[in-house]
Amino acid sequence: MNFTHEQEPAINSFARIVKLVAFAGTGKTTTLVGYAKARPQCRLLYLCYNKSVEIAAKQKFPPNVTCKTAHGLAYASIGSKYRHKLTSNLRLTDIARVIGSQNWELVRSVQETLNNYLASADDDIELCHCPVSKLKTERMKRAAGSIVEGARQLWLQMCDIHNEAANITHDGYLKLWALSKPNLRDRYDIALGDEAQDINPVIAGVLAQQAAYGMGVVVCGDGHQMLYRFRGAVDALNATWLDKAEVHYLTQSFRFGSAVAHVANMVLAFKGESRQLAGLGGETRVSKALPTDLEHRTVLCRTVVGVIETALANVEAGAKIYWVGGIEGYNLQDIEDLHALSKGWRDRVKGKKLLQEYPDYDLYKQIADESQDPEMNRSIKIIEQYSADLPELFAKLRRNAVTDELEATITLSTAHRSKGLEWDAVQLAEDFTFDPFNPDNEKEPWIDEMNLLYVACTRAMRVLAVNSTMLEIMKEFVDRRDGRKPNTPMVFRKKQAAAA
């Protein structure tokens, strides 16, 4: 296989620690496969971001590469001991029961504190893991001691194999594995850490440990595609242990042509990126709307609500819809159960745990309001908007859902789920509603939203239909380039400093 002048130096590198910075569509996976094939005598571990990436990777990498998620490694070592008390998530009512409180604001804070700890590289639960909103003043910090104590109590019971009253999550056993300081050098010579911009500190810490143990480590990713800060992710590409790494850049994209690359570069320019993404793929076109005669199109939304609303808007015309990740991954059944509860139709609720935890819809709304749980509030919004016809509409969505994308007339996804995928024709939905040039923006949320737009735009291989937010960015870029506006750096509102 022929590699580019950017790929070859990375593939043939003799450095023990390598950092590969790969822009969208620039052949990152191809480069890693080439790296592995160039070392047939080495045992490589490809640390995958999720299970679907693991399955796809096993089809691409040579036999000397083991493809595993961090959770998969952790389960084999520690998680299997907890299989009798594993849960996908801890509900607020589960936490309330364990810590013995019905103060839902406290319960929510304990949940956030524990999640922050599980995603961190820290050994113990401390005040720094509490929600920032609970640490604004010294008085609030002192009061937050009860949050820390509740999180410690919850974690202690989760870790107790014999305590089945407190289940443990998958992130829980992953944390326990990381705390054990695993040494993978006996099984592997080199670790490949993919999507390094979106791994959380606990996994980044495991990679750093392997480097400290003398193992070869290659980390790769694109900081502009960091999407999961809200889950505690960090850009491991900026870790201090990589300061002496050999660095290689991939900037030539063969996914799309110059038009889409130009749009992506506008986003990157406002983020301060000095390198240009080159579009070397086929001819591409950027417009305000997709052509009406397309056999298939993809709509990328900012939110799950946006996906469902787009589906509802298209299903009446008989559209065959492919849902990236599967239709049930968009919580339709949970929303239907909650809708039945809101109508008092308790016998129609399939998830009986909902009835056990919330005897009526008013309590659900009360907890959602007091805890500000985004999933709960999102479900309430859908129910109240489509209340009368929701069961019939959802039934039609299921009838028109297809599992083979080749049968679909429209593919729907959130921008988050679209990462790593590509389509001929992509439309950006109008639920990317942030104001990119509002001086009241805080820096990190602004970066996250710009990253989402960058990822969404770079999924298009032939035609990209931009939304009003992207049009505003394009107009601002042109105005500054042509001198109609001063080319001043972005200014952000600073986070509120903690008062003394």
User: 144-158 in b/e burial notation, b at 16+ Cβ within 10 A?
Assistant: beebbebbbbbbebb
* 24 annotated as a binding-site residue: yes
* 409 annotated as a binding-site residue: no
d(CA 455, CA 476): 20
Residue found by looking up tokens 């589960």 in the block: 94
* 492 annotated as a binding-site residue: no
d(CA 71, CA 202): 11
* 30 annotated as a binding-site residue: no
d(CA 179, CA 120): 11
Q: Are 57 and 138 in contact (CB under 8 A)?
A: no
- CA separation, residue 261 to residues 66, 193, 229, 271, 459 (Å): 34, 26, 25, 15, 11
**In this structure, which amino acid lies at residue 389?**
D
Q: How many CB atoms sit inside 10 A of residue 306's CB? A: 20
**In this structure, which amino acid lies at residue 3?**
F
Pairing of strands 278-279, 252-253: parallel
Output DSSP code: residue 490.
Answer: P
d(CA 406, CA 392): 26
User: 130-139 in b/e burial notation, b at 16+ Cβ within 10 A?
Assistant: bbeebbeeee
Q: Are 220 and 19 in contact (CB under 8 A)?
A: yes
* 318 annotated as a binding-site residue: no
User: 103-125 in b/e burial notation, b at 16+ Cβ within 10 A?
Assistant: ebebbbbbbbbbbbbbbbbbeeb
* 22 annotated as a binding-site residue: yes
Q: Are 125 and 114 in contact (CB under 8 A)?
A: yes
* 81 annotated as a binding-site residue: no
d(CA 171, CA 89): 9
d(CA 83, CA 66): 24
* 23 annotated as a binding-site residue: yes
Query: Which residues are known binding-site members?
Result: 22-29
- Extract the annotated binding site for ATP: 22-29
